[in-house]
Amino acid sequence: MKKYQRLLCFLCALFVFFSSAPCVHAASSDSEKEDKTASPYFYVESKETGVDCFPLKKTSVNATIEGVVADIHVLQTYTNTGSSPINANYVFPASTKVTIHGMEMRVGNQIVTAKIKEKEEAKQEFEAAKSEGKSASMLSEERSNVFTMDVANIMPGDEVVIDLHYTELITPTEGTYQFVFPTVAGPRYVSPIKDDSGNRDEWTAAPYLPEGTAASDQYSINVTLSAGVPISSLSSSSHKINIDWNENTTATVSLSDPTDYGGNRDFILDYKLTGAEISSGLMLGQSGGENFFMLMVQPPERIEITEIPPREYIFVLDVSGSMSGFPLDTAKELMKNLVSDLRETDTFNLILFSGTSYQMAERSLPATRENITSAVGLISEQSGAGGTELSSALETAIKIPANADTSRNIVVITDGYISGESEIFQMIRDNVQSADFFSFGIGSSVNRYLIEGIAQIGQGEPFIVTKAEEASKTADQFSAYIQSPVLTDIQVSFEGFDTYDVEPVVLPTLYAQKPLVLLGKWRGEASGTIHVSGKTGNGDYAQSLSVADALSGNHDALGYLWARKRVDRLTDYGLNQSNPEAKDEITQIGLNYHMITPYTSFIAVLDVVRNPEGEGTDVNQPLPLPLGVSNLAVGYRVGSEPGDLLLLAGAAITMLSASLLKRYIRRRGSC
């Protein structure tokens, strides 16, 4: 034990020393780049003078929601207050549902409208402009919810403003509309195997400010909600907000407390409309010479089913370092509610995972009071430490012997801070015939790409829990959803209405009471009838809509919404990334609809040589840790920078585990 005590004291001293030291910006030499892995790391300021290590000074989000479509402008303001030129890189998130279809760059009084180009072409043009001393910016997609912004040749005294234009569809669930704007991309765990394979995601090597460090940039969010009907409730569970009303159908929302930094957690705005339900309807529009339609069908009320067959639940719970503290405390509360809601005819199992995994029982156990008490006790002992090896834990869950007469449900509970999502998605695809997969995202800024992908591919439903007090309500929702789906075996047919390229191609089971949404193209006359059918717990369901009653108009957003749906299906959460035909079609959609895709990027170049020497310092804008996430979420990276000792210390502390640290501090008081 003494050797652990000495090591812990040494590591604590290193951590305190380097946390107070100036921080590391991106290295520029090839040899330094080769030494670095793709793991996130703590930001430690360089002693190099004249370099502005925090060029992103302000982010302003302005969203207008009209009906079910959100139009969003995000302004990023970069300013170089140092004395030498810099090149900035910034990693930021977005909703998995947005289409980014516009970008402008303003340098002083000069404005450049960005062009959409194939990703490699855009990268080459950016690097050429950078080396020639021209100011340039490039926006690229790393995941459907993670983007990187590169800005070259920000000269001393410059103010560079990037204006990004988003479109998103907002639909209600159980009568509640929710607008979510993610503000920070959490640190992604990179498996050592993947990191050594040469096939790594460089964006995951992002710098983070240590826990409790105040961010230097400003973050503002303003939302104008124009519902067209009375708004019955409007609130935010994530931020304190001001609401200015214009009668009862329009409201303007802004952050109310300037001292409360808004850029370290998802902004969540919930609202309900008078009447609670969205009416079924058809919207027609034209964009770029094509005709588009959007069909929204409100499903029937949920039917309570009393005779439910036995079910097996396998809970896969993340107890890694990023879950330490608030996320894990919330997950514990959720798990207690989930297992306590099981019926005696159900069976269950529990897998706890971090760098390794622990399986509660070889086979799933009956949901007796004794077994539930044992599971709750096991969960309560967890403190959070280590890596996030979800793939091996999920593989363990799938291999648990199954009962042919029992419906199997695998429930993943995590913050989703991993980089290897595609491996998880492929595993679920390969096993979706033997189980349904549900997912719970725990935390203030979860990886919604992973959480939503698990549920969509696994024919389940995603849930997000941001606060411990939401755990009981969310557990009740899960029980209701899984026991009584709203609509199954859904079929849509078109009579006398010539449609094509309709998305989605396969209609999923509706677990939650939310509208069925179809987007597609049409030609000829706007006439005919659309028929929708399915099955409910109460019998057959059918509804018909007349095309002649559709709401017609310009509706430019329909083209972007359709293109997003099409790209989502073609990428299929990474399934087709190596398919050349899918890649070609996705690329062409990006070029045709002027939108970001995995294979297209925005590039803007100010065609003036402003930095003749072409010399500048590459700076990675440091990110705040998401609210409630501890330093244990950031792995280690050993290289040549001063901060590498800090990173090694953080990793070693993680491996010693939080419980050992707490026990030692309680006994000795300090180092």
**Out of 31-45, 216-230, 507-521, least confident range:** 31-45
Q: Which two tokens stand for residue 646?
A: 């800090």
How far is Cα 303 from Cα 60, in angstroms, rounded to an integer? 44
Lowest mean pLDDT among 38-52, 155-169, 360-374: 38-52
Lowest mean pLDDT among 24-33, 56-65, 168-177: 24-33
Structure tokens that stand for 272 in this block? 């309900």
Any idea which of 119-133, 264-278, 377-391, 460-474 has the lowest mean pLDDT?
264-278
Can you tell me the mean pLDDT for 317-330? Answer: 92
**Average pLDDT for 315-326:** 93
According to the per-residue pLDDT averaged within each range, which of 4-18, 499-513, 639-653 is highest? 499-513
In the predicted model, is pLDDT for residue 63 greater than 80? yes
490 compared with 484, residue with greater pLDDT:
490
Instruction: Using alpha carbons, list the distances in angstroms from residue 422 to 414, 419, 572.
Output: 16, 9, 10
pLDDT of residue 508: 82
Average pLDDT over residues 482-495: 88
Is-contact 362 326, C-beta < 8 A? no
Contacts of 446 (CB under 8 A, 6+ apart): 186, 266, 415, 416, 464
Pairing type for strands 498-503 and 110-113 reads: unpaired
Predicted confidence (pLDDT) at residue 102 exceeds the cutoff of 90: yes
Instruction: Give the mean model confidence (pLDDT) for residues 260-280.
Output: 84
Rounded CA-CA distance 330/314 in Å is 19
Q: In whole angstroms, what is the distance from residue 139 CA to residue 112 CA?
A: 14
Lowest-pLDDT range, 58-67, 383-392, 599-608, 650-659?
650-659
Of the two residues 433 and 303, the one the predictor is more confident about is 433
Looking at residue 193, its pLDDT comes to 58
Q: Answer whether 353's CB lies under 8 Å from 318's CB.
A: yes
What confidence score (pLDDT) does residue 671 get?
31
- DSSP state letters, 503-566: E-SSPPPB-SS--EEEEEEEES-S-SEEEEEEEETTEEEEEEEEGGG-EES--THHHHHHHHHH
In 3-state terms, what secondary structure has residue 352?
A: strand
What's the mean pLDDT when you consider all of the chain?
86
pLDDT band of residue 306 (cuts 50, 70, 90) is: low
Taking the C-alpha atoms of residue 616 and residue 437, their distance in angstroms, rounded to an integer, is: 48
Pair of tokens at residue 124: 């080459």
| pLDDT of amino acid 551 | 81
pLDDT in the model for residue 359: 95
Name the token pair of 494: 């078109």
pLDDT above 80 for 179: yes
pLDDT cut 70: percent of the chain above it = 85
Q: What is the mean pLDDT of residues 434-443?
A: 94
Q: What are phi and psi of 535, to 5 degrees?
A: -125, 140
Q: Identify how many contiguous H helices and E strands the chain contains and give both numbers.
A: 14, 35
CA–CA dist 39, 187 (Å, integer): 8
Do β-strands 516-523 and 529-536 pair in parallel, antiparallel, or remain unpaired? unpaired
Task: Compute φ and ψ for 224, nearest 5 degrees.
Answer: -110, 120
pLDDT (0 to 100) of residue 30: 41
With 80 as the cut, is the pLDDT of residue 4 above it? no
pLDDT at 552: 76
Dist. CA 477–CA 553, nearest whole Å = 37
Phi then psi dihedrals of residue 397, to 5 deg:
-60, -45
DSSP 469-510: GGHHHHHHHHHHHHHS-SBEEEEEEEES-EEEEEE-SSPPPB
Find where tokens 């520029």 sit: 28
Is the predicted pLDDT of residue 656 greater than 70, yes or no? no
The confidence score (pLDDT) of residue 655 equals 41
Phi-psi region of 67 (alpha: psi -120 to 50; beta: other; left: phi over 0): left
Q: Give the least confident one: 264-268, 397-401, 464-468.
A: 464-468
Question: What dihedral angle (degrees, nearest 10) is formed by the CA atoms of 5, 8, 12, 14?
Answer: 120
Yes or no: is domain 311-483 CATH 1.20.1280.290? no
| pLDDT class of 648 with cuts at 50, 70, 90 | very low
Q: Where are the alpha helices (DSSP H) in 28-82?
A: 30-35
Find, among 25, 86, 139, 76, the residue nearest to 610 by Cα: 86
> What's the pLDDT score for residue 265?
96
pLDDT at 15: 45
CB burial of residue 114 (10 Å; 0-12, 13-18, 19+): buried
Is the confidence at residue 424, as pLDDT, over 60? yes
Say how far apart CA 569 and CA 567 lie, in whole Å. Answer: 5
The residue assigned the tokens 């999502």 is 421
Pair of tokens at residue 45: 């300021």
Q: Catalogue the E-assigned strands of 155-297.
A: 159-169, 172-173, 176-181, 207-208, 218-226, 231-235, 241-246, 250-255, 267-273, 281-287, 290-297
Cβ-contact 671, 13 below 8 angstroms: yes
Domain ranges of the chain: 311-483
pLDDT, tens digit (0-9, with 9 covering 90-100), for 205-245 = 999 999 989 999 999 999 999 988 899 999 999 999 999 99
Determine the pLDDT at residue 49: 78
- Residue 148: helix, strand or coil by DSSP? strand
In this predicted structure, the answer to whether residue 180 has a pLDDT above a threshold of 60 is: yes
Is the per-residue pLDDT at 593 higher than 70?
Answer: yes
For residues 206 and 185, is the Cβ–Cβ distance under 8 A? yes
Which pTM value belongs to this model? Answer: 0.88
Q: Two tokens at 287? A: 């964009």
Tokens of residue 576, six digits? 């087709």
Contact by Cβ (8 Å): 58, 163: no
